[in-house]
Amino acid sequence: MTPGGVLVLAEQRGQKVLRASFEAVRGGQLLARAISAPLAIAILGAEPSTAIADVRALAATEIISVEHPLLEPYTPDAYALALIQLIRSSPPRWVLMSHTYQVRDFAPKMAAALERPLAADVIRIGLEERPVFVRQIYQGKLHAEVSFEGEPPYFVSFQSGAFRSDEAETTGVPPPVIRFEPELSTGDIRTRPLEPFREAKQAVDLTKAEVIVAVGRGIKAREHIALAAKLAEALDGELAASRPICDNEWMPMDRQIGSSGQTVSPKLYVALGISGAIQHLVGMRGSRTVVAINKDPDAPIFDVADYGIVGDLFEIVPTLTTEILKSKGS
Ligand SMILES: Cc1cc2nc3c(=O)[nH]c(=O)nc-3n(C[C@H](O)[C@H](O)[C@H](O)COP(=O)(O)OP(=O)(O)OC[C@H]3O[C@@H](n4cnc5c(N)ncnc54)[C@H](O)[C@@H]3O)c2cc1C
């Protein structure tokens, strides 16, 4: 790895690179370009060659395959030790990751062992004079700008949705793959995670939906959800909700979008009576086209909407549904 550059850690599960890692790569590409630094992408595993194929087309200087049998299954000790060795072998200036549960598990251990700072759950990079990282504090009520001092490397993890995965640049000339074999032994591994916890066995997977109609507190009562369901049906889409709707048990928890629900990126996201709190936005701002219907013209959802309708959803939604059905000839 070229020292002084940007290193992005891409995560794989079962040889499939997570979408959040493509978002982190996008952040890395923007940072590397702004500071004219090389960009390396590292993937860890027992033999991560299939996962590496996932990122091979991405624009980067090199891809590092960090390989050892003890890197699978995942353990925080093996990951932290392997990465500490990689970083010490040729120190990057920046180490970027997505803020997944796994990163939350091993990244503080790794940064602390190297006595270097970690800015976690960053939502944006400011690249004007020097890199500045924006984090939410007080549950999203304030934004803090963080810059680093002292010796690098500096560690940063990005909130899901901070960058768009489909904006990660690709190249026609795949970067070279370099193998790095850390020294690990079974005695290094002190804890082993159990099976990942799944809240509902038959959870609806909204991540694959192309069209989502999401309902917020503006819907006012459980019996009005049928209105949104008809629109979703007319659009051949899935129904989803903001958190208060699921907290009220008007819809099941597995239909919640947001920081404590699912993160989705459909082609079309229709938000009905949703204010656009940050905890909701992080789950849906990767959507390609956002349509918002809200009676408050200052609702923050309009900041991320491509099309905004200021008005009463109880008037607009039935008309919209009828017109869509008409245009489909039904
Ligand atoms: C730790 C934490 C995690 C959270 N996780 C999530 C999460 O995963 N997902 C999530 O969604 N939230 C989450 N929240 C909650 C979040 O902060 C907001 O409270 C929530 O998103 C608000 O939901 P809402 O937009 O439906 O309701 P509100 O904020 O009450 O907004 C209702 C909107 O409906 C509009 N409206 C009212 N009547 C009409 C009408 N007739 N026609 C059109 N518009 C109308 C209003 O103008 C308003 O903008 C979390 C909060 C915390 C603290």
CATH of 206-327, one of 2.60.120.260, 3.40.50.1220, 3.40.50.11540, 3.40.50.300: 3.40.50.1220
The per-residue pLDDT for range 59-118, each reduced to its tens digit, is 999 999 999 999 999 999 999 999 999 999 999 999 999 999 899 999 999 999 999 999
Average pLDDT, rounded, for the chain? 93
The per-residue pLDDT for range 109-147, each reduced to its tens digit, is 999 999 999 999 998 999 888 899 999 888 667 889 999
Does 181 or 285 have the greater pLDDT score? 181
168-172, 204-208, 297-301: least confident range: 204-208
User: pTM value?
Assistant: 0.73
Q: Which residues line ligand 1 (CB under 6 A)?
A: 139, 216-218, 242-244, 256-261, 273-275, 277, 279-280, 283, 293-296, 299, 312-314
Q: Is the pLDDT of residue 198 over 80?
A: no
Do 6-188 and 206-327 show the same overall fold? yes
Q: Is the pLDDT of residue 200 over 70?
A: no
Q: Is the pLDDT of residue 202 over 60?
A: no
Q: Is the pLDDT of residue 54 over 60?
A: yes
- CB-based contact 184:78 (threshold 8 Å): yes
Class of domain 6-188: alpha beta
Phi, psi of 241 (to 5 degrees): -155, 165
The pLDDT value recorded for residue 145 is: 96
Q: Best substitution site from 136, 243, 263 to test ligand 1's pocket, by max atoms within 8 Å of Cβ?
A: 243
User: In 3-state terms, the chain is what percent helix, strand and coil (to 5)?
Assistant: 35, 25, 40
CA–centroid distance, 225 to ligand 1, in Å, is 15
The per-residue pLDDT for range 232-286, each reduced to its tens digit, is 999 999 999 999 999 999 999 999 999 888 888 899 999 999 999 988 998 898 8
Q: How far is CA 103 from its chain centroid? A: 12
The residue count of the chain comes to 330
Helical H runs in 75-165? 76-89, 101-113
In ligand 1, the atom with minimum distance to the C-alpha of 261 is 8
The pLDDT value recorded for residue 285 is: 85
Domain boundaries, the chain: 6-188, 206-327
In ligand 1, the atom with minimum distance to the C-alpha of 139 is 53
The pLDDT value recorded for residue 1 is: 75
CA–centroid distance, 20 to ligand 1, in Å, is 24
